[in-house]
Structure 1
Amino acid sequence: MDTNVEVVSAQLSATPISVDAAIAAVESDAAGAVVSFSGVVRNHDGGKDVTRLSYSAHPLALGVLSEIVGSLAQSTADPDGHPVRIWVAHRVGALEIGDPALVCAVASSHRAEAFELCSALVERIKAEVPIWKEQFFSDGSVEWVGAGNVPEQSPPENQ
């Protein structure tokens, strides 16, 4: 990994996550820009009222998340040569309306790199990390929404 990128945190969390904590974790004297994203549980989807969500992660989801962060970190460089700092977490378990489900923060010397990396993190996490959302609607119906793909895993070798 590029020595000018510091992954402060890349985690799946069963406990609440905070954009304020993410920002505080990446801030530094060298950072001229701190960009954050907080994806929160909304009260509607597809014209229906949502009451709550639950996220489930494949056992390999944390590894996929770490690979994404590592891959993006390798392709990122701060124009001034100062460390780019990354913090990202996705919730698992039960969430209520307004709870943060995905939080990312990126600090860099300049805003362009911070915006670009934060956006790329969010897009790749949503597309690639095998986390599934179970939505509970006010009419009593439930819907599963897939995010990412199930990673290929080799079967364990017989010993």
Structure 2
Amino acid sequence: MIVLGRIVAPFGVQGWLKIHPFGDDPTSWRKMPQWWLCADDNAPVEQWKPYTLKACRAHGKGLVAALGEVQDRNGAEAVDGWYIGAPREALPTTAEDEFYWGDLVGLDVVNEAGEPLGSVKGLLSTGAHDVLQVSEGETERLIPFVAAYVLDVDLAARRIRVAWGKDW
């Protein structure tokens, strides 16, 4: 399951949901007739429940959406904080230089000198840009996911090459 975003609040009294998307093009989610919801973003696929998309629109920096199985504000409150995901085959294809966050988690990160910096444990959305959370033992590095620092993403080799010092 690829995690796409998180429900951050009910929106209104008719069961609409306010959503914080993880990524740049959440409006493409409208092409998916079903979304999968789960309280735990690391849950096995069997625990994700499908929901039917009724409506979706941009709202500020996020989305608001109505799902067929969420009838009212009480239903929206019941899924507040849950994650939104989709199986890989249900997702729109990405351009060559675009990636789903779920594709990056677990990749090894090395710098220009070939020194290992750790592996991607997650990503953060800061508003200005996304940030890689890279862990190596007890050390965590936060590396901006921008062209100035991310030199290459090789999904086949499961590696990200960055312009980042080992002691930064």
**Structure of greater relative contact order (alpha carbons < 8 Å, 6+ residues apart):** 1
Give the TM-score category using the shorter length: under 0.3
Normalized per residue, the structure richer in strand is 2
Normalized per residue, the structure richer in helix is 1
TM-score, with structure 2 as normaliser: 0.25
TM-score, with structure 1 as normaliser: 0.26
